[in-house]
Amino acid sequence: MTNTQLLAALVIAASPTALVADQPFDWSGTYGGFNLDLADPILSGIQDCCADDPGDDPGNLDPSAVALGGHFGFNIVQNQWVYGVEGAFFYGGLVDSQLSQSEPIANESDIDINGIGSLRGRIGRIAGDAMVFGILGASYADATYTMRDPDAANSKGSADLSGWGYMIGAGIDLPLTENTSARVSYERHIFDTRVATDDLTTDSNEEDFVKLENVDVLHFGISMHF
């Protein structure tokens, strides 16, 4: 090997790219970043204001949407296992409305899920450069259901569907650079929050209710590790 070849080999070996390739990604410590969430809420209930009009059934509302949020957490690594705690949230965009079909002046019902936040534990396993993980924790939804009856009485009422539930999920983290990583995970946030809606409008009946069952989330994120 010539001196020029030897010098080139030493420069390549000392470069940051070679350093990242030779050393495993450090999943330990504090991290935080941004996430993009594809959320699909599931509702059920009865809003029998208009002779079994399907246009008033809360289960027909579909506030699926893409929302933006953030996450932050801390990991400890022991023998290729990763143990951590994490907070995550997304905000806005999960809204839908529908009109009844059996009245000349249609009633309107709306759902607005302002955001969902969670505090969860993570257990992961390092597999090559990747880290696969499971998550389990508490989840909170900020949500409101509203009915409007624009007839002579012009009545309107809202039901607060906000409340605590739990969440479960799994995913994978992959390193991008020496201190950044990308993640994808599937999460189910389970609430079963049921609220009576018998007094929302003059057309509401005694058996009426709305229920936020769960929210399924496909979660994408970019993290900075500190």
pLDDT digits (tens, 9 = 90+) for 184-194: 999 999 999 99
What pLDDT digit, counting tens, does each position of 32-45 carry?
Answer: 999 999 999 999 98
Q: Let me know if residue 171 belongs to a domain.
A: yes
> pLDDT band for position 78 (50/70/90)?
very high
Q: Let me know if residue 14 belongs to a domain.
A: no
What is the structure's pLDDT at 59?
Answer: 82
Number of domains observed in the structure of the chain: 1
Q: Let me know if residue 18 belongs to a domain.
A: no
What pLDDT digit, counting tens, does each position of 109-139 carry?
Answer: 889 999 999 999 999 999 999 999 999 999 9
Instruction: Report the chain's C-alpha Rg in angstroms.
Output: 25
Tell how far CA 116 is from the center of its chain. Answer: 6
Domain of residue 210: give its range.
28-225
Q: Let me know if residue 7 belongs to a domain.
A: no
What is the structure's pLDDT at 132?
Answer: 98
Nearest 5 degrees, angle CA 106-CA 99-CA 161? 120
Average pLDDT, the chain: 85
Q: Is 65's pLDDT higher than 50?
A: yes
Could you write out the three-class secondary structure of the chain? CCHHHHHHHHHHHHCHHHHHHHCCCCCCEEEEEEEEEEEEEEEEEECCCCCCCHHHCHHHCCCCEEEEEEEEEEEEEECCEEEEEEEEEEEEEEEEEEECCCCCCCCEEEEEEEEEEEEEEEEEEEECCEEEEEEEEEEEEEEEEEEEECCCCCEEEEEECCEEEEEEEEEEEEECCCCEEEEEEEEEEEEEEEEECCCCCCCCCCCCEEEEEEEEEEEEEEEEEC
State the distance between the two ends of the chain, measured CA to CA, in whole angstroms. Answer: 41
Q: Let me know if residue 128 belongs to a domain.
A: yes
Q: Let me know if residue 92 belongs to a domain.
A: yes
CATH no. for residue 148?
2.40.160.20
Please compute the mean of the pLDDT values over residues 146-171 and round it to a whole number.
Answer: 86
Q: Let me know if residue 11 belongs to a domain.
A: no
Q: Let me know if residue 17 belongs to a domain.
A: no
Block residue for tokens 């965009």? 93
Q: Name the residue among 145, 142, 147 with its Cα closest to residue 195.
A: 145
What is the structure's pLDDT at 192?
Answer: 93
Q: Is the pTM of this model over 0.85?
A: no
